[in-house]
Amino acid sequence: MDVDPSKLEPRLLTLEARLEDFDCGDVDLNEFLLRDALTYQDQYLAKTTLLYFGSKLVGYYTLSCDAIRLDVSEKNFFHRRKQIKSYPAIKIARIAFIKDCQNKGCGSLILEVVKGFVHKINKEGAGCRFITVDAYSERKEFYLKRGFKYNIHKDYKENAHPSLRFDVWTWLHKSTGSE
Ligand SMILES: CC(C)(COP(=O)(O)OP(=O)(O)OC[C@H]1O[C@@H](n2cnc3c(N)ncnc32)[C@H](O)[C@@H]1OP(=O)(O)O)[C@@H](O)C(=O)NCCC(=O)NCCS
């Protein structure tokens, strides 16, 4: 499929959406969409956006609120006067595209969309500094190449999936984009 990421059409998940044929190659991500996403949404736990190319459902992403701990060695950088126990974030709880649409720029575009969304949250009434993801190990390079860093606080040491974060404020305010 010759998908053009800029032509993806986002639609919030509703009961009416046809999800049966969605296949990203990962059983857990397929099943989450088919069986759990709507319940999570109804219970205010996570919100899912479906992505269509023309009439075809080609991907989805699911966001929820998050808060992360920073290691002592990182805290001075973020706030010099007061200690903040945890830092607000939006978590990419799930993201997946059908196999035909992988490696064509769609995932990268969605990361940009989420950065814009975090910026919007800040403009409209709530502080939110980071984007987080518990990445599949085999996918962590995708995020690291795009500016995500490891969460190094001890709380994340035992995580089955590497805990990563992207600092939206630094990205917006410092031309280097690095922490
Ligand atoms: C992981 C995933 C969401 C990434 O989305 P994606 O749309 O494939 O990501 P992109 O196409 O933006 O980037 C992936 C690679 O394709 C390359 N690419 C982007 N556009 C391209 C194009 N037009 N032609 C060829 N390659 C391209 C990118 O350079 C990138 O490689 P890099 O990471 O080495 O730089 C997607 O592959 C996926 O759904 N995988 C299955 C489910 C999954 O693993 N989900 C993530 C769980 S953490």
Nearest CA to ligand 1 atom 28: 103
The position carrying tokens 């599949």 is 136
Residue 115 lies in a domain: yes
Report the CATH number at residue 122. 3.40.630.30
Q: What is the mean pLDDT of residues 56-75?
A: 94
Give, using CA atoms, the residue closest to atom 5 of ligand 1.
Answer: 107
Task: Specify the ligand 1 atom closest to the Cα of 5.
Answer: 7
User: How many structural domains does the chain have?
Assistant: 1
Instruction: State the Cα–Cα distance between residues 131 and 112, nearest whole angstrom.
Output: 11
Query: What residue ranges in the chain does DSSP mark as E strands?
Result: 9-12, 47-53, 56-68, 87-97, 130-134, 149-150, 163-167
Q: How far is the CA of 126 from the centre of ligand 1 (A)?
A: 31
Does residue 92 form part of some domain? Answer: yes
- Residue 101 CA to ligand 1 center (angstroms) comes to 9
Looking at the domain assignment, is residue 63 inside a domain? yes
Give a yes or no: residue 77 inside a domain.
yes
What mean pLDDT do residues 52-73 have? 96
Tell me which residue has its CA closest to atom 48 in ligand 1.
Answer: 135
102 Cα to the center of ligand 1, angstroms: 5
Indicate the pLDDT class of residue 177, thresholds 50, 70 and 90: very low
How do strand 130-134 and strand 87-97 relate by DSSP bridges?
parallel
Whether 179 maps to a domain, the answer reads no
By percentage, how much of the chain surpasses pLDDT 70? 96
Tell me the residue range of the domain where 105 lies. Answer: 5-173
Task: Answer whether residue 178 is part of any domain.
Answer: no
Residues 155-167 have pLDDT tens digits of: 999 899 999 999 9
Residue 26 CA: which ligand 1 atom is closest? 42
Distance CA 14, CA 37 (A): 10
Between CA 1 and CA 127 the distance in angstroms is: 39
For residue 12, give every residue at least 6 positions away whose Cβ sits within 8 Å of its Cβ, in sequence order, or none: 47, 48, 49, 50
Which residue out of 33, 108, 143 has the highest number of ligand 1 atoms within 8 Å of its CB and is therefore the one to mutate? 108
> Is-contact 132 163, C-beta < 8 A?
yes
CA–centroid distance, 108 to ligand 1, in Å, is: 7
> What are 115-143's pLDDT values in tens digits?
999 999 999 999 999 999 999 999 999 99
